[in-house]
Amino acid sequence: MKRLKTLGLTTLACAFACALSFGAAPMQAQDPGPLKLDITRGVIEPLPLALPDFIAETPQAAEYAQQISEVIAADLVGTGLFREIPSSAHISQVTNFSAPVSYADWKAINAQGLVTGAVGMDASGNLSVKFRVFDIYAEAPLGSGLQLGGSTTSWRRIAHKVADVVYSRITGEGGYFDSRVVFVSESGPKNDRLKRLGVMDYDGAGLQYLTDDNFIVFAPRFSPTGDRVLYTSYENGTPQIMMLDVGTVTRRRLPVPAEAVTFAPRFSPDGQSIVYSMSTGTNTDLYRMDIATGQNVRLTSTPAIETAPSFSPDGSQIVFESDRSGTQQLYIMPANGGEARRISAGKGRYGTPVWSPRGDLIAFTKQNQGRFHIGVMRTDGSEERLLTASFLDEGPSWAPNGRVIMFTRESQGASGASALYSVDISGRNLKRVPTNAGASDAAWSPLLK
């Protein structure tokens, strides 16, 4: 029996208990079976997946079984990689978690994968959720069965974790559903927007506000462990970098000169330092700060405006935008400063670069011929691909698995509003992220623990 460590979260009361094998053949790391969805070049035809409602093993668990089933289906179908076979087409009815699978019945409705599960509740009111994934044409389980547990308040996280496992076993990639997004929530007219920081599940659920709207805030960024957020605030009259503890919702200003304008902060991969822009007079350069000591090191020294820095996943390099060539372009330099090389080469202006968690791509905003785009390129600037086109698209942020990008889209006109959208790196599955008000400046957290 393999046990999962207890989760200690301030904002979510969730403690996963154990991961149990139910006698299924263990998944081989190098080959999880014939059911394998190749998504490296995008998927045109979603894979048909049967997702019967999870069984309620106790009467008290019935409501949660239904809700968990709905979230799992929404997570998987929402990727654009899967198509749920409607329950009205099911021949087999799953009424017992331990019963053998009637593979012929699922083949008859062209299901390629099947996910079954059951939800129970103990005397203390804690949930237990067990599930299996099956390869219908191989007539075999895809990996071992698993069991997760937690309080009733954590049912959404449990559902997201189940979906992450299903996604990972079929695609071979890590999931991203059990993650959060910090963003700027906006209200009021376009010329007088009120802004405050909010944090929510990746799908818009579980919204919490981290600041009030008394001061303008922008560009929030999660720490590598997801427990802190950097952002820029006008609380002291000029843009200053603040660091907020997500659990306690307490904040502090980082030690930079009070008269300087500081903005565009981002954590290093180890969470021990930050890189940011600082303007003194007419000059804007990049700096790096050790969080523990407050010591600052200047990384660039040019007459240009240099901003929007982002570390490579290994922390050895920084990509940033600069107008040192006369227009906004993208550059890469060593993380401790040094010679920078330009990587953008197309027509137009490039900005807000963000390194993929995988290390292979850089997402960016591009402006060309009156249109804005979200795009990706290799770290040497090759294979540039534009994923979107709009009146104003900007500010990409990567999902933890490097498969999906979230960004801000603003509509045109005096009544135009900002909203969050996401798109697959293949350019498919463009969709709006639900928020209860205008939203911008999204930043994706790592997978939650």
- Angle between helix axes 155-171 and 62-78 (nearest 10 degrees) is 40
Total-model pTM: 0.89
pLDDT at residue 257, rounded to an integer: 79
* DSSP state string for 387-424: ---BSSEEEEEE-TTSSEEEEEEE-SSTT--EEEEEEE
Nearest-angstrom CA–CA distance, 18 and 186: 40
On whether the CB atoms of residues 441 and 230 are closer than 8 A, the answer is no
Nearest-angstrom CA–CA distance, 37 and 428: 16
Along the 449 residues of the chain, how does pLDDT read in single tens digits?
233 322 322 222 232 223 323 333 333 333 334 676 666 555 568 999 999 999 999 999 999 999 999 999 999 999 999 999 999 999 999 999 999 999 999 999 999 999 999 999 999 999 999 999 999 999 999 999 999 999 999 999 999 999 999 999 999 999 999 999 999 999 988 888 899 999 999 999 999 999 999 999 999 999 999 999 999 999 988 899 999 999 999 999 998 877 889 999 999 999 999 999 999 878 899 999 999 999 999 999 999 999 999 999 999 999 999 999 999 999 999 999 999 999 999 999 999 999 999 999 999 999 999 999 999 999 999 999 999 999 999 999 999 999 999 999 999 887 789 999 999 999 999 999 999 999 999 999 999 98
Helix/strand/coil for 171: helix
Q: What is the DSSP letter of 225?
A: T
**In this structure, are strands 317-322 and 329-334 parallel, antiparallel, or unpaired?**
antiparallel
pLDDT at residue 77, rounded to an integer: 97
Q: What is the DSSP letter of 31?
A: B
Helix/strand/coil for 288: strand
pLDDT at residue 182, rounded to an integer: 98
